[in-house]
Amino acid sequence: APRGGAVDSWSLALANRLVGNAEDAVAFESSGGLDIEVVGSAAMVAVTGAQADMVVRDGPPLGWGNPQALPQGARLRIGRLRTGARVYLAVRGGLAPGIDGQSDGRSDGQSGVRSGVRSGAELVVGDDPGTEVAGIAASPLPEPDRVTIWPGPRRNWFGRDAWRLLCSAEFVVSPASDRVGVRLSGPLLQRVVHHELPSEGVVEGAVQVPSDGHPIVMLADHPTTGGYPVIAVVDPRHVRHIAQLAPGDVVRFSATRQPTGGDSALPR
């Protein structure tokens, strides 16, 4: 099954650690436009992921990676994303599965995220975990100049020119990108094998190339199987970078022949 859940799992884990939650506690994932009001008791929160415009009314200011207690009645607005594609908001105790006693928005036991919540919904926070809150603010990880890829299981379906272009050209993120995958425009990656490919397993970070020649990098909601040849697989350490690419962003790839440490992300 696909992993599902947070597209940028590193940012989700960081936000949760900052407020003392388990790394996979349910939190918010948003592409901007998130408006939260604290009702009941105060809430300890932390924001990671994309850099976003944030305003707190009737409460202290909130910075990226800096856990902060918001008092009852405070209202947090996460607006325009300045860089990145997804922001994560963790609340100490984690978000409970139900809203108003019913299922609302996107959430499941594995996901660690909730998105698509209807306006005005009341979200229930879980019990205090009894752990310490981070004493210092976190800093964003530096972004790589190039995303590392490994040769995929269907690398030989493409000529040398296609591989050279993939490892040297600039690709631009398409507005059609979503939680399933990041679609890229740029030089066309031409096949040398043209017959139909039977469906085979797909992993997160797989770089599929449909018949139009434009690569797609698979993300958290990728299908379990696919019929497009996989020319490459993104190093798992760089998948979080792909997950934060927004439409119009430019990405470059750099190849290495084998995974670090002997681990393989290729389908078996």
Task: Indicate if the pLDDT at residue 245 is higher than 90.
Answer: yes
> Which tokens belong to 189?
């990656």
- Phi-psi domain of 170 (left: phi exceeds 0; alpha: psi -120 through 50; beta: other): beta
Whole-number pLDDT of residue 4: 74
The model's pTM is 0.87
Answer yes or no: do 118 and 174 share one domain: no
Domain hosting residue 210, numbered range = 147-262
Whole-number pLDDT of residue 8: 96
DSSP class of 262: G
> Which tokens belong to 179?
């939680």
Distance, in Å, from the CA atom of 24 to the CA atom of 36, rounded to the nearest integer, reads 21
Whole-number pLDDT of residue 267: 36
- Helical ranges in 54-179 per DSSP H: 160-166
Task: Indicate if the pLDDT at residue 23 is higher than 90.
Answer: yes
Which one has a higher pLDDT value, 268 or 188? Answer: 188
Residue 94 inside a domain? The answer is yes
Distance, in Å, from the CA atom of 259 to the CA atom of 151, rounded to the nearest integer, reads 10
- Express each pLDDT in 148-182 by its tens digit: 999 999 999 999 999 999 999 999 999 999 999 99
Whole-number pLDDT of residue 124: 84
Answer yes or no: do 70 and 159 share one domain: no
CATH number at residue 207: 2.40.100.10
Sign of the torsion angle spanned by Cα atoms 128, 132, 135, 136: negative
Stretch among 8-12, 82-86, 118-122, 237-241 having the lowest mean pLDDT: 118-122
Whole-number pLDDT of residue 148: 97
CB-based contact 189:264 (threshold 8 Å): no
Residue 208 sits at the vertex; the CA angle it makes with 244 and 50, to the nearest 5 degrees, is 5
Choose one of 125, 155, 171: the last residue of a domain.
Answer: 125
Residue 238 inside a domain? The answer is yes
- Express each pLDDT in 106-144 by its tens digit: 444 445 676 666 666 677 899 999 999 998 889 988 888
Residue 73 inside a domain? The answer is yes
Distance, in Å, from the CA atom of 182 to the CA atom of 188, rounded to the nearest integer, reads 16
- Express each pLDDT in 92-107 by its tens digit: 999 986 544 333 444 4
CB-based contact 192:157 (threshold 8 Å): yes
Closest CA to 8 of 19, 21, 23: 23
Residue entry with tokens 């306006």: 119
Whole-number pLDDT of residue 12: 96
- Express each pLDDT in 199-232 by its tens digit: 999 999 999 999 999 999 999 999 999 999 999 9
Sequence-distant (≥ 6) Cβ neighbours of residue 121 within 8 angstroms: 99, 100, 104, 105
Whole-number pLDDT of residue 102: 37
pLDDT interval class at 40 (50, 70, 90): confident
Whole-number pLDDT of residue 89: 96
Task: Indicate if the pLDDT at residue 50 is higher than 50.
Answer: yes
Answer yes or no: do 38 and 88 share one domain: yes
Closest CA to 4 of 184, 12, 167, 62: 12
Q: Quick one: average pLDDT of 9-25? A: 96
Domain count, the chain: 2
Residue 4 inside a domain? The answer is no
Residue 137 inside a domain? The answer is no
Per-residue HEC secondary structure of 172-186 comes to EECCCCCCCEEEEEC
Distance, in Å, from the CA atom of 106 to the CA atom of 115, rounded to the nearest integer, reads 5
Answer yes or no: do 55 and 112 share one domain: yes
Answer yes or no: do 114 and 152 share one domain: no
> Which tokens belong to 66?
């800096």
Whole-number pLDDT of residue 170: 98
